[in-house]
Amino acid sequence: GQQLNQSPQSMFIQEGEDVSMNCTSSSIFNTWLWYKQDPGEGPVLLIALYKAGELTSNGRLTAQFGITRKDSFLNISASIPSDVGIYFCAGFPSSGAGSYQLTFGKGTKLSVIP
């Protein structure tokens, strides 16, 4: 199936720093979702995006639906230790047999150094 390219694969940052990660695709997506997963737990939905150019915030998290509809970005401001985890992007392609199935990125593993 389709793949989303998520980068970076991992990040080590100091507490208080801002974080950016992104997800790209070779095809157009209709919906972008961002999740956080803690070890041994299921992914938790952070932000959902439905329109090209849309910018949505959830506390210190901000995500954007790229204008080309082929990418999305997640920013975390002023990171804190509890931000540690794996962040996944996911999306629904705009057409084709896979348009009803969520496509996932491989995740960005975030480590925060106190």
Partner 1 sequence: DVKVTQSSRYLVKRTGEKVFLECVQDMDHENMFWYRQDPGLGLRLIYFSYDVKMKEKGDIPEGYSVSREKKERFSLILESASTNQTSMYLCASTLTKVGSEQYFGPGTRLTVT
Among 10-18, 19-27, 75-83, 101-109, which window interacts with partner 1 (CB under 8 A)?
101-109
Ordered DSSP codes for 24-64: E-SS-EEEEEEEEE-TTS--EEEEEE-STT-EEEETTEEEE
87 binding partner 1? (CB under 8 A): no
Size of the site for partner 1 (CB under 8 A): 24
Binding mask 10-39 for partner 1 (x = CB under 8 A): --------------------xx-x-x----
At 100, phi and psi to the nearest 5? -100, 0
- The only residue of 8, 101, 111, 113 in contact with partner 1, by rule CB under 8 A: 101
Strand partners, 43: none
Alpha-carbon distance 31 to 90, whole Å? 8
Q: Which residue has the tokens 């540690």?
A: 84
Specify the residue, 49 or 79, whose C-beta has the smaller distance to partner 1: 49
Task: Please give the residue ranges that form the binding site for partner 1 (CB under 8 A).
Answer: 1, 30-31, 33, 35, 40-45, 48, 50, 88, 90, 92, 99-102, 104-107
